[in-house]
Amino acid sequence: MRTTSRYRASTRIITAIGVVSLVAACAGNGGTTATGGATGGGYPDKNITFVVPFSAGGPTDTVTRMIAEPMAAKLGGKIVVQNVEGAGGTVGAGEVARADPDGYTVLMHHIGMSTAPALYQNLDYKPLEDFQTVGLVTEVPMTIVARKDFAPKTLQELVTHVKANASKVTLANAGIGAASHLCGLLFQTATGVKLQEVPYEGTGPALTDLVGGQVDFMCDQTTNTSGQITAGEVKAYAVTTPERVKSLPDLPTTTEAGLPQLQVSVWHGLYVPKATPPEVVQKLTEALKVALADQKVIDQMAKLGTAPVPAEDATAEAHRTKLQEQIGTWGKVIADAGVKAS
């Protein structure tokens, strides 16, 4: 079944001197700009668009905006962040695959880049053949969170509750192939329960509905849930990584909470269309490295339970190796689970 998410794009431009909202061409969309000092050498000589294939305000969007400003400063240009939501990130990824290979259209995507080939029979791009990797960005733990008045108090109680109420419990996600969908899939496999899934165009709006009590629970990245967990606006059961997250020290791991099978973290990376000139890719990689070493970025990420990847992983080669390995890993998990998006 294909997600019901509809295509929607919004644009923001980020500047080195601050975030400025612009009225975008599309009704209801805002904008923000990032500029910086010159690096020389022709590229960039116009705005670079960073495509986020999920809603504004969600975890992928948040990480993109964190690095856009220092990257723009290093590149000596402007970066426009554009949200192109739909179908678990595949709409935005497809747009970038078909964009001019000139370095002016860059995709920020996550683990979903590696799961889409197994999930979508009619996928209109091939991750390894149609994209050039630029570098890995971060790997984000996920949390299992519920509306704050949801009855279960612990992960074990949640498992018992969903087993007894499978037809009533709603599980939010950001569409087929989104990280939240994969984590929800692992939860259902681990508990042997089939739940009613509610797809959104990103976990930004899903979390808003969770806080509002419209859905029962979801898996989502700490970059989206940390604020609400700390503020007590959602109930948090566990973090899906082997270690606890420093910024959420009281939250047990899934292993500690009795569901060790549920292990997932969400890696992110930057991509350009395949035929992009190597010297342009190199400039983007160098700018990414500078952004990931920026203390402000490190601090912002730490506050949200994550960190930049080590410098050796912010390279096109390490990123491609990761993508290849993950396509294999997830292809098997998805085939075993028998899930298809279309």
Judged by the rule CB under 6 A, the positions of this chain that interact with ligand MLT are 54-55, 58-61, 112, 174, 178-180, 202-204, 220-221
Residue with Cβ nearer ligand MLT (44 or 184) = 184
Determine the Cα–Cα distance for residues 179 and 205; give it in Å rounded to an integer. Answer: 15
Residue with Cβ nearer ligand MLT (218 or 280) = 218
Contact (Cβ atoms closer than 8 angstroms) between residue 203 and residue 178: yes
Q: Could you tell me the smallest distance in angstroms from the CB atom of residue 227 to ligand MLT?
A: 14
Q: Could you tell me the smallest distance in angstroms from the CB atom of residue 278 to ligand MLT?
A: 29
| Residue whose C-alpha is closest to residue 258's, from 339, 152, 131 | 152
| Residue whose C-alpha is closest to residue 92's, from 1, 188, 10 | 10
Determine the Cα–Cα distance for residues 203 and 39; give it in Å rounded to an integer. Answer: 36
Q: Could you tell me the smallest distance in angstroms from the CB atom of residue 199 to ligand MLT?
A: 10
| Residue whose C-alpha is closest to residue 73's, from 3, 114, 17 | 17
Residue with Cβ nearer ligand MLT (32 or 60) = 60
Determine the Cα–Cα distance for residues 293 and 178; give it in Å rounded to an integer. Answer: 28
Residue with Cβ nearer ligand MLT (3 or 221) = 221
**At 303, phi and psi to the nearest 5?**
-60, -30
Q: Could you tell me the smallest distance in angstroms from the CB atom of residue 164 to ligand MLT?
A: 27
Q: Could you tell me the smallest distance in angstroms from the CB atom of residue 221 to ligand MLT?
A: 6
Residue with Cβ nearer ligand MLT (34 or 113) = 113
Q: Could you tell me the smallest distance in angstroms from the CB atom of residue 109 to ligand MLT?
A: 9
Q: Could you tell me the smallest distance in angstroms from the CB atom of residue 59 to ligand MLT?
A: 4
Residue with Cβ nearer ligand MLT (204 or 308) = 204
Contact (Cβ atoms closer than 8 angstroms) between residue 283 and residue 316: no
Q: Could you tell me the smallest distance in angstroms from the CB atom of residue 89 to ligand MLT?
A: 7
In the block, which residue shows the tokens 């994550």? 306
β-strand pairing of 22-23 with 30-31: antiparallel
Residue with Cβ nearer ligand MLT (35 or 265) = 265
Say how many CA atoms lie within 13 Å of 132 toward its Cβ.
Answer: 21
**At 186, phi and psi to the nearest 5?**
-65, -40
Instruction: Enter the tokens of residue 83.
Output: 């949200």
Helix (H) or strand (E) holding 131: strand 131-147
Contact (Cβ atoms closer than 8 angstroms) between residue 253 and residue 242: yes
256 beta partners? none
Residue with Cβ nearer ligand MLT (74 or 268) = 268
Residue with Cβ nearer ligand MLT (208 or 255) = 208
Instruction: Enter the tokens of residue 283.
Output: 């400039």
Contact (Cβ atoms closer than 8 angstroms) between residue 316 and residue 134: yes
Q: Could you tell me the smallest distance in angstroms from the CB atom of residue 323 to ligand MLT?
A: 16
